[in-house]
Homo-oligomer: A and B are copies of this chain.
Amino acid sequence: MPAPAKFTEFVDANADKFIQRLADAVAIPSVSGEPNHRQDVVKMAQWLDGQLKSLGVTTKLVDLGKHVMDGEELQLPPAILGRIGDDPKKKTILIYGHFDVQPAYKSDGWDTEPFKLVVDQKTGRLIGRGSTDDKGPILGWLNVLEAHKALGLELPVNLRFCFEGMEESGSEGLDDLIRSETQKGKEGWFAGVDCVCISDNYWLNDRTPCLTYGLRGLTYFKVTVSGPARDLHSGMFGRAVHEPMTDLIALMSKLVTPDGKILVPGVDEMVAPADEEEKKLYSSLDYSIADVEDAVGGKIAISEDKATVLMGRMRNPSLSLHGIEGAFYGAGAKTVIPAKVSGKFSIRLVPPQTPEKVNPLVHKYLESEFAKLNSKNKLEVECLHDGKPWVADFKHWNYEAAIKATQAVYKKQPDLTREGGSIPVTLTFAESLGVNVLLLPMGRGDDGAHSTNEKLDRSNFIEGSKLLGTYLYEAAAIAK
């Protein structure tokens, strides 16, 4: 059962209005990882709550309590629970999204102001922080709701919504909320949910839609080396004291090789190597080394072998060094010996890895490597947040509906993929609700989520809104 033609026509006819709403959402700098933007995340929750209410959704802002960030106790932004439709004859689909975004500064290298949506008429790009991650997809659902309300159409399924404002900072408070709502059974907001749909990842390339049935997990570390009570002048104290930066850089250099091998003993080894048959799966995807290099804008693929590159992204763990807190980071030449420096790195995990298994290996390795340095400085290793990897059954009707919807809207067969990123809540939904979870991406592989000049193509926003609506009709029509 495809969606009614007047639904898709309405989406086309209202495209400019929908883009203006996306501009309104992008304009709220809802950066969850920076305390000074916490109120903007709250503002974003209120804005989204207002939109949902005006489209007929019953909502509840849930207080998730407090947490500590950078030594400061902060109120968590509220989660939004929503419901529309209670027909016991219909399927009930739970939609998840996040309305917080990554930090962004023009000085990071953006060509435009990050929190002002720029519509590039020539390329059709909608450029701004959150355009594709994850405000665009959330607004796709608002577009579906608005079309049905305006046209007086009944929704083909009951919908439940769960939107959060802390995804980019470890989804603090959300797991507890999901578990407590699930435990309420029939009284809970997730009662009767048949499946979950999440739009928070991307196509592999810029031409073929995909459905995603696997995600890597993540464990994020902060390694702090401290020694002097204050920053020192390198002329006065260079070669007289143990310098924290020297120790930290030595430790960070022992985590991963330039070709991606993880040096923490036991971490890579936890994952069985792919056999020839599995390698073939990756060789046959509509995604090439040239696609990877186009997406990143440089000829820097880690191997000449397609399967190696794609498995590096999808089915192998990875370790990335993100930066250093506390050291000199500006332009120019400052001759300081920083007193306390914290290296940040993360490991993407794949089954059967879990944070529980990997974290102790990281702690032990860093402590033993630090001991070898014979430094009088102090080491502290913290895991800032973590989440398990996830793999779903892609033969479920939830995936079947999404495949049919993709064929209807894009006239193409979607790629079925595992993805390198982490959306820890996916696993919480799968485990707590015990239902199938589908990742149905809206954006393209070159959107630049978490990066400078993040964008969502106009066509992905508009066709993607049609895809979400059509998926509901296909899910409604299919036998459970």
Residues of A near any B CB (own CB < 8 A): 33-34, 69-70, 102-103, 108-109, 169-170, 202, 216, 218, 220, 222, 227-243, 245-247, 249-250, 252-254, 256-260, 292-293, 295-302, 309-310, 312-313, 316-325, 327-339, 344, 346, 348, 373-377, 384-385, 419-422, 445, 448-453
The contact of A322 among B33, B230, B299, B335, by CB within 8 Å, is B335
- Please name all residues of chain B whose beta carbon is closer than 8 Å to the beta carbon of A453 when the two chains form the complex: 230
Given known contacts A109-B339, A234-B320, A236-B202, A241 and B292 CB-to-CB distance under 8 angstroms: yes
The quantity of this chain's copies bound in the complex is 2
Please give the distance in Å from A210's CB to the nearest CB on chain B: 13
Are A253 and B242 in touch, CB under 8 angstroms? Answer: no
Q: Which residues of B contact A246 (CB under 8 A)?
A: 256-258, 320-321
Contact B258 A373 (CB under 8 A): yes
Q: Which of B228, B320, B449 contacts A298 (CB 8 A)?
A: B228
Q: Name the one of B109, B218, B249, B312 contacting A253, with C-beta atoms under 8 angstroms.
A: B249
Q: Which residues of B contact A218 (CB under 8 A)?
A: 235, 335
Q: Which residues of B have CB within 8 Å of A324?
A: 323-324, 327, 329
With A322-B338, A329-B323, A332-B33 known as contacts, the answer to whether A451 contacts B230 (CB < 8 A) is: yes
The complex places the Cα of A89 from the Cα of B430 at a distance, in Å, of 94
In chain B, what residue has the closest Cβ to A262? B239
- Establish whether residues A259 and B323, one from each chain, have CB atoms under 8 Å apart when the complex forms: no
Q: Is B334 within 8 A of A344, CB to CB?
A: yes
Q: Are A420 and B235 in contact (CB under 8 A)?
A: yes
Q: Which residues on the B side are within 8 Å of A328 (C-beta)?
A: 322-323, 325, 344
State in angstroms the CA–CA spacing of A243 and B302 once bound together: 9
Q: Which residue of B lies closest to A250 (CB)?
A: B253
Compute how far the CA of A447 lies from the CA of B39 in the bound complex, rounded to whole angstroms.
40
Q: Which 9 pairs of residues, A with B, have the shortest CB-CB distance?
A: A229-B297, A235-B421, A323-B328, A238-B318, A253-B253, A323-B327, A239-B318, A239-B312, A329-B329
Collect the chain B residues with CB atoms within 8 Å of residue A333's CB: 33, 169-170, 220, 222, 344, 346, 384-385
Contacts of A238 in B (CB 8 A): 260, 312-313, 318-320, 348, 420
A259 x B374 contact (CB < 8 A): yes
The A interface is mostly helix, strand or loop, or mixed, namely: loop
Known: A258-B375, A421-B233. A450 touches B336 (CB 8 A): yes
A240–B169 touching, CB < 8 Å: no
Q: Which of B228, B332, B385 has a CB less than 8 Å from the CB of A297? A: B228
Return A172 CB to nearest CB of chain B, in Å.
Answer: 11
| Residue in chain B with minimal CB distance to A422 | B235
Give complex CA distance A385, B136 in Å: 47
Flag if B227 contacts A300 (CB, 8 Å). Answer: yes
Chain B residues, CB < 8 A from A301: 240-242, 376
Q: Residues of B contacting A338 with CB < 8 Å?
A: 322-323
Give the nearest-CB partner of A337 in chain B: B320
Contact call B313/A237, Cβ cutoff below 8 A: yes
Contact between B450 and A233, CB atoms less than 8 A apart: yes
User: CB within 8 A of A335: which of B108, B230, B450?
Assistant: B450
Which residue among A325, A335, A348 has the maximum number of chain B CB atoms within 10 Å of its CB? A335
A230–B452 touching, CB < 8 Å: yes
Query: Judging by beta carbons under 8 Å apart, are B260 and A239 in contact?
Result: yes
Q: With a CB–CB cut-off of 8 A, which chain B residues contact A450?
A: 231-234, 334-336
CB of B327 within 8 A of CB of A448, answer no
Of B257, B298, B327, B337, the residue contacting A329 (CB under 8 A) is B327
From A102, A232, A241, A292, residue with most partner B Cβ within 10 Å: A241
The answer to whether A451 and B233 touch across the interface, beta carbons within 8 angstroms, is yes
Closest to A251 in B: B253
Contact B374 A332 (CB under 8 A): no
Cα separation A396 to B360 with both chains bound (whole Å): 64
> Nearest CB to that of A312 among chain B residues?
B239
Chain B residues lying within 8 Å of A234, measured Cβ to Cβ, are 318, 320, 322, 346, 348, 450
Q: Is the CB of B297 within 8 A of A240?
A: no
A371 CA to B202 CA in the complex, in Å?
35
Contacts of A419 in B (CB 8 A): 235-236
Task: Kindly report which residue of chain B lies nearest to residue A226, judged by CB atoms.
Answer: B298
Kindly report which residue of chain B lies nearest to residue A260, judged by CB atoms: B239
Flag if A247 contacts B240 (CB, 8 Å): no
Q: Is the beta-carbon distance between A245 and B300 smaller than 8 angstroms? A: no
Pick the contact of A236: B233, B300, B421 (CB < 8 A): B421
List 19 interface pairs A-B (beta carbons < 8 Å), by A numbering: A108-B231, A109-B230, A231-B452, A233-B450, A234-B318, A234-B320, A235-B419, A236-B313, A239-B260, A245-B322, A247-B258, A250-B253, A259-B374, A300-B375, A324-B324, A325-B328, A329-B329, A332-B384, A339-B452
